[in-house]
Structure 1
Amino acid sequence: MPPTATYHCAYLTGWVDTKLRRSLTADDRERDALLRLAEDCPGATVTYETVPFDTTQ
């Protein structure tokens, strides 16, 4: 997390956006931490579009 608390929610939503957009997994420990931190971000939303998986690379 950034040292300045005013950036925590933006960082958190950006983190979740990246995880969802790239279809990345989160283990139980990470999920619990994200949920706990999200409690301090009422009204925060995450909007994302998944990145298509390219099987040619």
Structure 2
Amino acid sequence: MMINRYGAPCPLCPTPLLLNVVQVRSAQSGFVQRERVNGRHCRNCEAARPEQWNEVMRALCGDG
């Protein structure tokens, strides 16, 4: 199941990052077994300064 949630503040501005999270649930109980963050987004920085955003996210998270 794919959900969105807010995470830590953006490294370039005070806006919280929007995280794309994939949850893996157990078929027997329905509880979340694992979560994986697929992407991090800051609407302000991605639109205003995409080059700087990509550099910072590659350095911090290995994606961009």
Q: TM-score, normalised by structure 2?
A: 0.23
Question: Looking at both structures, which has the greater relative contact order when contacts are Cα pairs under 8 Å and sequence separation is at least 6?
Answer: 1
More helix as a share of residues: 1
Computing the radius of gyration over CA atoms, which structure comes out larger, 1 or 2?
2
Q: TM-score, normalised by structure 1?
A: 0.25
